[in-house]
Structure 1
Amino acid sequence: MRTHHPDDELMTQVARLVNELDPMPPGLVERAQFALALDDIDNVDIEVARWADNRTLTGVRGGLPGTITFFVGDLTVMVNVTRTGERQRIDGWLVPAGAHGVEVRVAEHGSSTTTADEGGRFVLTEVPRGTTQLLVRMNAEQSRTVVTPTVDL
C-alpha cells in the first residue's frame, strides 16, 4: 500500500499550473524529430554548427530573421533570408570558399540543393517557409558534412 506524501499533491498542482501558464509550444516534438532525422546522409561523421551570436535567436520564431550566421571549426555559414510571398529566397556564403554542396531541408516540404560557387556563394529561390535546416557537404578534399540548428523561417 502506497502512502500519500504531502508533496505529491503540491507537485501535481505545480505541474498543472506550468502546463496552463507555459505550455509546450505546438509542434515542438515534430521540430525536434525533424532536426534529428538525417536519414538521407551517407556520411556518419556529421558536425553540428552553432549560432555565431545568441542575440540572433531573439525573435527568430515567427519573425523575419534577416541574416543568420553559423560556425563550426573553421567553417562559417552566413545566410540572408528574403521573403518572396509564401516562399523565401536564401542567399548564402561559405568561408572557406569553395564549390561545396548545400542542402536546405524544410519540414514537410523536402529539400532543395545547390552547389556554392568557387567564391563560396550560393542562392536558393522559391524555398518553402517552415522549420528549416542547412547541410553543407564540404568538397572532396575535406569530405565532411556540417548541419545547422533548425530555425523557423
Structure 2
Amino acid sequence: MSEMGREDLLAVVRTVWEERDPVPPGLVERAQAAAALAATDAATDASDAALDLDGELVALMELVERSEELVGARGSATYTLRFVHGETDLLVRIAVDDGRSRIDGWVVPPEPMTVRAGGHEATVTDTGRFELDDLPLGMLRLDLEPHDAHRAPFATPAFEI
C-alpha cells in the first residue's frame, strides 16, 4: 500500500463526509435568512437606539432549551422553546399545521407586557399567558415590551417557524 499525500487524504475525507453527512436541504437558505434577519434587527435596534433618549438597546433573551415532538401524520409539528432574560423566563410552544402556525406563550413571573411578532401583537394576561395566531412561516423574533416604564424592552433571538 502506498502512502497518501496530504491533499489526497483530505480529498478522501471530503468525499466520505459529503456522502455520509451531506448538508441538510435548505440549510444554506435558512442560514442566509437568519443572517439577513439578524442584520435587519441590528440596523433597526441601532436606529431605535438613536431615537431613544436613553440610548438603550433592546436586550436579547438567551435560548436555554428546545424540545420537539411529532404530532399526527399530516405534517403537523410542535416544539417548545425556553428563553431567559435576567429574572424573566419565557416559554413558547410553537405549533405548525398545514402551513399555519400558532404560538402559545407564558411569561414567568407574570407581568403586564405587549408581545409583537410578524405583524401580530398580544398582551400578556395576569397569569403570564399570551397567544399569537396565523404567524408567517420562516424566521421570527418575539419583541417583548413591559408596560412598566422602568423596564427596558427585550427580545428573543430569531428562530424559525
* Aligned positions of 1:18-29 closer than 5 A: 18-25=17-24, 26=26, 27-29=29-31
CA contact (8 A) 1:45 1:145 kept: yes
1:122 equivalent in structure 2: 130
Say whether 1:141 aligns with 2:143.
Answer: no
Higher relative contact order (CA 8 A, sep 6+): 1
Larger Rg: 2
Structure 1 vs Structure 2: percent identity of aligned residues?
23
Structure 2 counterpart of 1:64, which letter? A
Alignment of 1:59-138 (within 5 A): 64-83=77-96, 85-105=98-118, 111-138=119-146
Distance (Å, rounded) in 2 between the aligned partners of 1:58 and 1:73: 28
TM-score (norm 1): 0.69
How does the TM-score come out when normalised to structure 2?
A: 0.66
Structure 1, gaps ≥5 residues long: 106-110
Secondary structure of the 2:22 match is: coil
Deviation of 1:57 after TM superposition, in Å, equals 5.3
Measured after TM superposition, the shift of residue 89 of structure 1 is 2.0
Aligned equivalents of 2:110, 2:101: Cα separation in 1: 24
Deviation at 1:77, TM superposition (A): 0.8
CA contact (8 A) 2:102 2:131 kept: yes
The Cα RMSD (Å) is 3.0
Per-residue Cα deviation, 1:100-146 (whole angstroms, up to 9, x for no partner): 231224xxxxx433332344322211112333332323342211313
Q: Structure 1 residues 16 and 133 mapped into 2: Cα distance closer, same or farther (>3 Å)?
A: farther
1:56-93 deviation digits (Å, cap 9, x = unpaired): 1577xx86224432223211111233445421222211
- CA distance 1:34–1:121, change in 2 (3 Å): farther
Q: Give the Cα separation in 2 of the matches to 1:21 and 1:117.
A: 49
Correspondence for 1:47 among 37, 57, 60: 60
Query: Unaligned 5+ residue runs, structure 2?
Result: 50-56
Report the Cα distance in structure 2 between the residues aligned to 1:96 and 1:82, rounded to whole angstroms. 23
Deviation at 1:34, TM superposition (A): 4.6
The alignment partner of 1:103 has SS state of strand
